[in-house]
Amino acid sequence: MRGARIAGTGRELPSRVVTNEDLTKLMDTTDEWIVQRTGIRERRFADPSAGNSHMGAAAGRKAIAQAGISVEDVGLLVFATLSPDYYFPGCGVMVQAQLGMPTVGALDVRDQCTGFLYGLSVAEAYVKGGFHDYVLVIGSELHSKGLNFSTAGRDTAVIFGDGAGAVVVGPAENGKGILSSHLHSEGKHAAELCVEEPGFLKSPWLTHETIDSGKHYPKMNGKYVFAHAVRRFPEVIRESLAKNGYTASDLALLIPHQANQRITQAVGAAMELPEGKVFSNIERYGNTTAASIPIALDECLEQGRIREGDLVCLAAFGSGFTWASTLIRW
Ligand code: COA
């Protein structure tokens, strides 16, 4: 079976920077609280006229250019997000239209912070299986239009930010590229981090009460999420290493989903990795959910943090709960 590698990456961040200080004008919070608990200093918020798909398409366009291919070469498009332009259809078809792609399949993935790695595993399988030569995977998130910026929503409003990242997955030779992907879920924890309504458990699925009670805002049991994240991240990273006969000392770089700096530090410590081997940019972007790993990957490559031959692990944990890892020989 042929291999699959990341042939190009791209990112798109809104230009508007929102600092912790800016948020203190909207809710009862402080820069000190946010930095100490999350490591976040600022995040980006999209222009109100922009849609999620516009950011995703821009990131996708850059990844395609960097891969040295054209939109006609892409056989499948995968779009991961929890903040789509429309309830339906998904953002994938929006990107197909905006990029002027041929009428290829557009698959939408709904696995929140783990969504990008779920999408990447689909691309890996299609390319390794020889079904397509190039698959475009986008992770894009527009949180700023869906957060509660009053004190009642401060536990989540300070965490999330907007942005998009994308990769092109293409064929690989000589055992290089994506070695394996490992996906997990445990739905019994779904209510601990979710947007409860609107949803089709209710009839009708959207009511005035939904809005009045604020059930359309994210709901998070922060301590509970934290406890599961610091257990599942190391577990799934070790799973990918063991599957391929490696240990953590073989890793050149770990790129975790940027959930919270304290989670990233705990994971790095559990894996006994020095700080320089664990990438973090949460300080500047906050948690961009499905976009955080492809944004981070694009920055790592730009900064020369990944060299040919390096063993790199991507890992994520999020709502669902879902968690996953991808091990790559660069
Ligand atoms: N500013 C100031 N105070 C805040 C606040 C904010 N933005 N958000 C919450 N608080 C308050 C709480 O109301 C609480 O006040 P109380 O003691 O008077 O009730 C106090 O701070 C402590 O809240 P708590 O939830 O116990 O804090 P914490 O130490 O657990 O930190 C999180 C909160 C959300 C930062 C932390 O739980 C966390 O990072 N969890 C993981 C979240 C995550 O990564 N989610 C994404 C997963 S992909």
d(CA 224, CA 206): 28
* pLDDT computed for residue 90 by the predictor: 97
Contact (CB, 8 A) for 169 and 295? no
Q: Is the CB–ligand 1 distance for residue 287 below 6 Å? A: yes
Q: Is the CB–ligand 1 distance for residue 23 below 6 Å? A: no
59: Cβ–Cβ under 8 A, 6 or more apart, which residues?
A: 10, 11, 12, 138, 140, 164, 165, 166, 291, 294
Contact (CB, 8 A) for 64 and 122? no
20, 52, 54, 113: which is the annotated catalytic residue? 113
* pLDDT computed for residue 96 by the predictor: 98
Query: In angstroms, what is the span from residue 79 Cα to ligand 1's centroid?
Result: 30
Q: Is the CB–ligand 1 distance for residue 96 below 6 Å? A: no
**Whether 113 is catalytic:** yes
User: Beta strands of 134-204 (E only): which ranges?
Assistant: 135-141, 163-172, 177-185, 193-194
Q: Is the CB–ligand 1 distance for residue 232 below 6 Å? A: no
| CB-based burial, 66-82: b 16+ in 10 Å, e otherwise | bbebebebbbbbbbbbb
Question: Domains of the chain: which residue ranges?
Answer: 3-175, 178-329
Q: What angle do CA 221, 225, 226 make, to 5 degrees?
A: 120
132, 143, 182, 257: which is the annotated catalytic residue? 257
Atom index in ligand 1 nearest the CA of residue 23 equals: 7
* pLDDT computed for residue 309 by the predictor: 96
Amino acid identity at 163 = G
Atom index in ligand 1 nearest the CA of residue 319 equals: 48
**Whether 20 is catalytic:** no
194, 287, 300, 313: which is the annotated catalytic residue? 287
Q: Is the CB–ligand 1 distance for residue 288 below 6 Å? A: no
* pLDDT computed for residue 174 by the predictor: 86
3-175 and 178-329 agree in CATH topology: yes
d(CA 317, CA 328): 18
Ligand 1, atom 9: closest residue by C-alpha = 155
Contact (CB, 8 A) for 74 and 43? no
Mutate to test the pocket of ligand 1, among 21, 114, 194, 226 (most ligand atoms within 8 A of CB): 226
d(CA 56, CA 53): 5
Atom index in ligand 1 nearest the CA of residue 257 equals: 48
**Whether 287 is catalytic:** yes
CATH code matching the domain that covers 3-175, chosen among 2.40.40.20, 3.90.400.10, 3.40.50.300, 3.40.47.10? 3.40.47.10
Atom index in ligand 1 nearest the CA of residue 158 equals: 7
Instruction: Dihedral sign for Cα 243, 79, 68, 288, please.
Output: negative
Q: Is the CB–ligand 1 distance for residue 326 below 6 Å? A: no
Amino acid identity at 37 = R
Q: Is the CB–ligand 1 distance for residue 194 below 6 Å? A: no
Q: Which residues of the chain have pLDDT under 50?
A: none
Query: In angstroms, what is the span from residue 287 Cα to ligand 1's centroid?
Result: 14
To the question of domain 178-329 being in CATH 3.40.47.10, the answer is yes
Provide the residue count of the chain: 330
d(CA 28, CA 34): 11
Q: Is the CB–ligand 1 distance for residue 225 below 6 Å? A: yes
Atom index in ligand 1 nearest the CA of residue 317 equals: 48
Ligand 1, atom 37: closest residue by C-alpha = 222
* pLDDT computed for residue 253 by the predictor: 98
